[in-house]
Chain A
Amino acid sequence: MSERVIISGGRVVDPANKRDELADVIIENGRIADVLAHVSTKTKRNGNGASNGATVIDAQGCIVAPGFVDLHTHLRQPGREDKETIETALRAAVRGGFTTVCAMPNTEPAIDSRGVVEMVRQEAQRVGLADAQVIGAVTIGRQGKELTPFAELFEAGCIGLSDDGSPVGDSLLMRRALEYARMFDRPIIQHAEDSQLAAGGVMHEGAVSTRLGLRGMPGAAETVMVARDIALAELTGGWLHVAHISCAETVDLIRDAKRRGIRVTCEATPHHLALTDAAVGDFDTLAKVNPPLRADRDRRALAQGLADGTIDAIATDHAPHTDWEKEAEFDQAPFGISGLETALAVCITELIESKALTWLQLIERLSTAPAKIARLAAGSLAKGAAADITVINPSLRWRVQAAQFASKGRNTPFDQKDLIGRAVAVLRNGRVVYGL
């Protein structure tokens, strides 16, 4: 079986190389050999390795993009394999078009030492499918008290550090973390939440929480910390990456910080782009997430931020939970949405269909920019790059069936919803890992 693959007749959208045109992608030995403007389909159509001994994938009507990179995934292994394992998560990832995921360290034990980093990477390698990078913890055990051994973690391959799930609350500690991480040119990824302001909150503080009598988390809990961290980034010259932003005011703060030349990047999730606090409805725990789904003005500000580049990346914050945990009373149910398998479709339905983003912009946010933030040689279809490719049917209408997810986590507010667009084939290192 030849190692030569041709993805033929698709619309190649490759922001890294400023390409958006009908083209054929030629893959040899797991790498991109060439990308040629598409001439005709006649000579290529043969399916089983006729033309020059190559396998041809007919991508007519499809978008061909570099494989997506998720900066924010919770693999749950080690410790909570009932919610998800590395294997089920990676299967979910490729179904969603992701060829690389970055694992958050809030596992049990936390990823705060070389040993756990290696364990995760080895298991991911054994599974194959998508690539799993690791984000190490900022503090030991994510307790927020002592810094982890940064050098050891980065040497083991961490692409950034975060205490995600919790903020780094102590301002002095955050300052030190930003300063220290400077020499590795890696970001501190902050889950921006003032713990006291948000304490006890279970959804966005607004008209819906007031009516339902549920304790709210005000937007100020996020913006207060973002403002603090921007000041610290300015002070230290360090690299701040704000995880899963949710407020209009946060977008404004970051836009202003970037304008002033401060090194800050950030990400937003598909569910924050698509939904508001109204999704909680009759106490639906599937809409319980942290940061919470907020008001319509926040949602619109996030879309605007993605369009003008204030928000660099779209990240899923994939957070699988067991069915029975999510069945608990709203107060007690865990926060989180299982997002890998719906991310692309939600983005297409919300952003492409409404023309808020162009395809070039969307692929930039899903692939190119996150690859840059993780400093990976991914997110590009340049000659010589690893052939991590996602083929998308941009107009396929389908109904989300969470019961059929590859992820163990069925917890999504998009279950039974009709969405547009889906990955139909995913290649990693030139091998098909999903679809076809």
Chain B
Amino acid sequence: MSDAPQRDKTRILDAEAIRRALVRIAHEILERNKGVHGMAIVGIRTRGAVLAKRLAAEMQAIDRHSVQVGVLDITLYRDDLSRIAPNPVVHATDIPFDITDLRVILVDDVLFTGRTIRAALNALNDLGRPKMIQLAVLADRGHRELPIRADYVGKNLPTQRQESVDVRLSEIDGIDEVLIEPAQLPERSGGRP
């Protein structure tokens, strides 16, 4: 579906690199938590949820036990809701199990300012009281605005603030890749300085 990387975008990770990163993270999670017992993986919509499912599959392949997966929509917990219009489309949260006392591995595609994770932590807090929350991300691009850090990182990507990081996954975009795009010039309407 998606075309080859556009003229200005740079491909940082290809499909194979993504796969290897996920496998490594799966091993790291299992090692640090000594297996999947008492654990759940919760992915943040939309691509975090895809990665969460892939991670769970990896871990099952290694550990031969299945692990519970949930999907979290953090729209209602965003800290900019009263500052932006229109309100973003909200999709459903689907965590069909009680997270209380579980080790929750929160999964997202890119870690940037940290505000999404802050919202996710608040959302999880309203759903129960996990024993512990760990964070796994495919890419960490720096520029944190809150004291948030990831426990598991697929790749560290130093970026400039204005650049954008574009994660594409085959389940949604038809291809696995991570791209960096240089800063977009602000759009000009005719005549305005």
- A–B interface present (Cβ within 8 A): no
Chain B interfacial positions (CB closer than 8 Å to A) = none
